[in-house]
Amino acid sequence: MIKKENNYAFIDSQNVHKGIKSLGWEIDWKKFRVHLKDTYDVAVAYMFLGFMQDNQKLYEHLQRCGFVLVFKPLIYGDGGVVKGNCDADLVLYAATKVNDYDKAVLITSDGDFYSLTRFLYERRKLFVVLSPYIDTCSKLLKKEERENILHE
């Protein structure tokens, strides 16, 4: 019997949402979760997002699809602009849980995750970086992770 990997996905939800939306598409989260399991042996898929009470039905749907949601409180800046940057939370989860998983699947196009990709790569824990839209993917990620970055 072939042993399944115990891989974890770490999803920058805002980056994925904006990347897919910029293409004029909608993502089918249920099919995406199945794809992560079937293609990358993802046992646990963490999705990082800012919490908005109005999105409760979306959160329930994502949980039914099999995602583990990690929320960050939102902050309202000048002019009522909503800020919910979850990058640090994603990095902290991926780094502190590094001994819990075989490989990490990082889903983002954000260059802020360069240090995390290096950290995982050096420990042989990086499976792949999936970019929601390769044209807007950070040049830093594309340059340094070219053998590990895919556009899906």
Treating both helix axes as pointing N-terminal to C-terminal, what angle do 56-64 and 29-40 enclose, rounded to 10 degrees? 30
- Phi and psi at residue 114, to the nearest 5°: -55, -50
Residue 146: pLDDT band with limits 50, 70, 90: very low
CB neighbour list of residue 78: distance below 8 Å, 6 or more residues apart: none
Domain range annotation of the chain = 11-132
- Asked whether the predicted pLDDT for residue 108 surpasses 80, the reply is yes
DSSP string, 69-137: EEEEE-EE-GGG-EE---HHHHHHHHHHTTTT-S-EEEE---GGGHHHHHHHHHTT-EEEEEES-GGGS
- Asked whether the predicted pLDDT for residue 117 surpasses 60, the reply is yes
The tens digit of pLDDT for each residue in 18-64 reads: 777 777 888 899 999 999 999 999 999 999 998 988 999 999 999 99
d(C-alpha 89, C-alpha 85), whole Å: 9
As a whole number, mean pLDDT of residues 124-145 equals 66
- H/E run at residue 151: strand 149-151
Q: Could you tell me if 27 and 92 are in contact, meaning their C-beta atoms sit under 8 angstroms apart?
A: no
- Asked whether the predicted pLDDT for residue 84 surpasses 70, the reply is no
What pLDDT sits at residue 150?
A: 45
Residue with tokens 């990490």, as numbered in its chain: 104
What pLDDT sits at residue 143?
A: 52
What pLDDT sits at residue 141?
A: 54
- Asked whether the predicted pLDDT for residue 10 surpasses 80, the reply is yes
- Asked whether the predicted pLDDT for residue 71 surpasses 90, the reply is yes
Confirm or reject CATH 1.20.20.10 for domain 11-132, answering yes or no: no
